Homo-oligomer: A and B are copies of this chain.
């Protein structure tokens, strides 16, 4: 070994010597197309000429970034918690003050600045449990089963982490829907687990067929040990809302096949279509009787980031875990304690989401008004998106029953497919990149979420304000027509 100089010039950490599982991770929602959008924004701001005046981002479910307003009551309470001197300010409503006091009393030193218990603040977990009981028509919920998290992302990754074990054909396999939210594939890649794809049925409005679950499972059993089944309902990126029957079937399937169920229900308030309703896995499970409710292991996830509040930046969330082995629960608590605790302002916000103003309280009316306005605007935009996109030849789009996204199927001409392939690009990435360069609209190619071979899609959020959404939809229409012409 020689002295410094030359020796140390070779990096310790290189692409060849870094963690190989990290290298396998992919995350399209913030991938190359978004990086290019950021560049384009900078170029625009530096005065560079483009065929568009602004970049419109429809790539990520980030409501406030698209102009959605926060719920006044929530922010009042957060301000009071941050700076309790405001408690003597008479402009704040009494219910905001009493909520803030209650939260602060549950914090160490009455401060948001203290670490909380690793599982989350006690009183918040109690409020979450009461919320779940109300939501699920009285099905009981134990606060000990509630874990507050750093956004739903954190809960999902933590649960997957617990589940991974084995080697070779004994390696843990996890079933995820295709199309999926790419957090799942990314976490599975990082953890070295086996991703088992089951395909949603685009022809039947992205519904879930048990026969497809069975097919995927049976195939996977040949090369791994399938142990968990993940469902996103309402769906991202596909916007479907599962029926009650479907959920029952899934639970029966999980029980029969001994799969740990993971229900991602972060869009539980985002249901727009007539005849659709949100059914929590927890509720359905309990209504199926003790044969299921006392045996099927279920983790369900919620977040402050979506629904009517859209408070992504606070990274609030919770998971409810039922029928989990007690020893494993102790291991989970230990694992969480290493990171100390989820962000306390996010926990406070989660508390407000599950314990909003009640009838008779001073902020009740304005809360209901704000919430309704946001949800009806979303419902309207869901409809509008579906309608406009379906007028375009070569685009076909299922109804956006819930969540915040449309995932239309697009026809890409062979000539374009060939050109993309020549450039080493996936055809839908080629399409979306071209759309971005020509129109300033930032969408995510379907390949980032997974799609049946030979089909192409993009995902767009319905979050831009109505007028901007109209512009966006028209630009997509024009672009698609031009693109189709150009490559025919």
Q: Interface residue count for A (Cβ, 8 Å)?
A: 108
Residue of B nearest to A324 (CB): B13
Cβ of B323 and Cβ of A11 under 8 Å apart?
Answer: yes
B83-A79 in contact (CB<8A): yes
User: Which chain B positions have C-beta within 8 A of A53?
Assistant: none
B313 pairs with A114, CB closer than 8 A: yes
The 11 listed contacts between A and B (C-beta, < 8 Å) are A4-B295, A7-B258, A12-B259, A18-B165, A19-B162, A29-B337, A113-B314, A186-B338, A190-B335, A314-B345, A343-B343
**A64 and B165 contact, CB distance less than 8 A:** no
Given contacts A108-B64, A151-B340, A162-B22, contact A8 B255 (CB under 8 A): yes
Residue of B nearest to A150 (CB): B150
- For the complex, is A453 an interface residue (Cβ under 8 Å from B)? no
* Most-contacted residue by chain B among A27, A154, A291 (CB, 10 A): A27
Q: Does A264 contact B (CB under 8 A)?
A: no
- Which residues of A, 342-357, contact B by the 8 Å Cβ criterion? 342-346
Contact residues, A151-169 vs B (CB, 8 A) = 151, 153-154, 157, 161-165
Contacts of A76 in B (CB 8 A): 83
A138 lies within 8 A of chain B by Cβ: no
Known: A115-B312, A190-B335. 13 other contacts (CB 8 A): A4-B292, A10-B258, A14-B325, A15-B327, A18-B163, A19-B162, A38-B117, A64-B107, A79-B86, A113-B314, A312-B340, A315-B341, A345-B346
In chain A, residues 16-54, which have Cβ atoms closer than 8 Å to a Cβ of chain B?
Answer: 17-20, 22-23, 25-27, 29-30, 38
Is A256 in contact with B162, judged by CB distance below 8 angstroms?
Answer: no
What is the bound-complex CA distance between A312 and B76, given in angstroms?
A: 22
Given the complex, which residues of B lie within 8 Å of A14, measured CB to CB? 325, 327-328
Copies of this chain present in the complex amount to: 2
A8 to B91, CA, bound (A): 56
- Min distance, Cβ A8 to any Cβ of chain B, angstroms: 5
Cα distance A62–B114 when bound, in Å?
6
| Complex interface: chain B residues within 8 A of A252 (CB) | 4
The answer to whether A8 touches B256 (Cβ under 8 A) is: yes
Instruction: Decide: A313 and B64 in contact? CB cutoff 8 A.
Output: no
Contact A30 B337 (CB under 8 A): yes
CB within 8 A of A19: which of B165, B187, B315?
B165
Q: What chain B residues lie within 8 Å of A10 (beta carbons)?
A: 258
Does A5 make an interface contact (CB < 8 A)?
A: yes
Chain B residues whose C-beta falls within 8 Å of the C-beta of A207 in the assembled complex: none
A310 beta carbon closer than 8 Å to chain B: yes
* Complex alpha-carbon distance, A82 and B66, angstroms: 18
B13:A328 contact, CB within 8 angstroms: yes
Which residue of B19, B64, B292, B315 contacts A343 across the interface (Cβ within 8 Å)?
B315
Q: Give every chain B residue within 8 A of A163 (Cβ-Cβ).
A: 13, 18-19
